[in-house]
Amino acid sequence: MTDTTRALAGRPRTRTRTRTRNRRRALLPARGAALLAATTLALLPAAPAHADGTGIRPQQWGLDALHTQEAWRTSKGAGVTVAVLDTGVDDQHPDLAGNVLPGKDLIGFGAGRGDRPWARHGTAMAGIIAAHGHGPGNTDGVMGIAPEARILPVRVILESGDTAREKARGSRGTALAEGIRWAADQGADVINLSLGDDSESAHAEAGEDAAVRYALAKGAVVVASAGNGGEKGDRISYPAAYPGVIAVTAVDRFGNRAPFSTQRWYATVNAPGVDVIIPDPDRKYYQGWGTSAAAAFVSGAVALVRSAHPGLTPAQVKTLLTETARESPAGGRDDAKGYGMVDPAAALAAAARLRPADPRRATAGYAGKYFGPGPSAVPPVAEPAGWLGPLAGAAGALALAAAVALWRTARTAPGE
């Protein structure tokens, strides 16, 4: 790894730590002071990979767990746009080239292409959602859950290794809310928010809540990571807790709840979030963990459904995922795993029996004006500084931890 990685600090004191103690952690994108924990991805080497990339694809256990081969008989996400609100996306990565649309940079400064602290987390999320591989027959590299979907990158946070991070904290506090609205206005079918604020000062932000409602009213399905505070108090994470959002928790390859995954009332479904293979702008591949990865898997699953059934409203899609989830907890739902593991193949089959609802009544059938009861009331607090708003959640949602590279498409990485 290059000098943009550092030894993993503060790792969970569980068997997960034992398994991952040799990992390194990538510097995290910042959402002001708190947007970091929910999207944590810890990366490590898996089985030895080969120079032709054949060692990468078999390690993508998440695709098998979500029955993607079955789902791909119906849909691969063609015609669907997934907005990835993150640190930017490398549109020249061989596994994503051609699938990334011109996006929007709501930060306007900081690291750029070729700099190490640029677009790492966002590229990882885009890869989970819509990577198509590369090489002969696209058999090299990684495959996303919706390989024919388009990615709309919206830069709303900076990697923590970016020297402009502090500046962004102080001047771009509304970027997340602005990004959600912008993505909805561009016609995004799905908005992926692999980020969040689960800091001690986290609370519902009116601007973000309104932006989420705006996107839902425009027909966009909003997916967010539930948070990585499972071993740090399970604090509420926003935007996961906003009504209407599909909040995703993380499980390992055995279906066990990942210890770091936040347990809260808003948990909707779960998805793979441990030992997930992801691409990086340095043309290497990493293995990581985090509810950010889990959210990206669900965004890809939603893309498959929206591709085959574009008329379904966000409320219908959310209900569809909960009703078709498998391995449901006792009682049908709990705060650790939601309604169970998302099952895109089952959702596609069930969607074929649904009649699209009137888009003008997208929220019909739900309590009040939202899709659910809404965030719990919080005591009045002094208005925080602007940077503690939408971009301040870095400490709670975006943890992209990098370890050793698994394989690289180029024999020599820049700067090595």
Strand segments (E) across 45-170: 81-86, 104-105, 132-134, 140-143, 150-155, 158-159
- Exposed / middle / buried, residue 386 (Cβ in 10 Å: 0-12, 13-18, 19+): middle
Q: What are 370's two structure tokens?
A: 């939202």
Q: Give the torsion sign (CA, 226, 228, 231, 237).
A: negative
- In the residue annotation, 160 being an active-site residue is answered as no
**Amino acid residing at 165:** R
Position of tokens 């996400």?
A: 77
Catalytic residue, from 75, 160, 261, 292: name it.
292
Question: Measuring CA to CA, which residue among 42, 18, 13, 31 is closest to residue 293?
Answer: 42
Select from 252, 245, 288, 243 the least CA-distant residue to 270.
252
93 included as an active-site residue: no
Work out the number of other CB atoms within 10 angstroms of the CB of residue 67.
15
Cis peptide before 239 (omega within 30 of 0): yes
Under DSSP, the state recorded for 327 is S
The residue annotated as part of the active site, out of 90, 91, 95, 121, is 121
* Residues whose CB is less than 8 angstroms from the CB of residue 133 and which lie 6 or more positions away in sequence, other chains included: 57, 95, 139, 140, 141, 142, 143, 147
Question: Phi, psi (5° rounding) for residue 195?
Answer: -165, 175
Catalytic hit among 75, 86, 140, 162: 86
Please tell me the distance from the alpha carbon of residue 220 to that of residue 224, in angstroms, as a whole number.
13
Respond yes or no: is residue 52 known to be catalytic: no
Question: What angle do helix axes 291-308 and 344-351 make, rounded to 10 degrees?
Answer: 30
- List, by residue number, the catalytic residues: 86, 121, 292
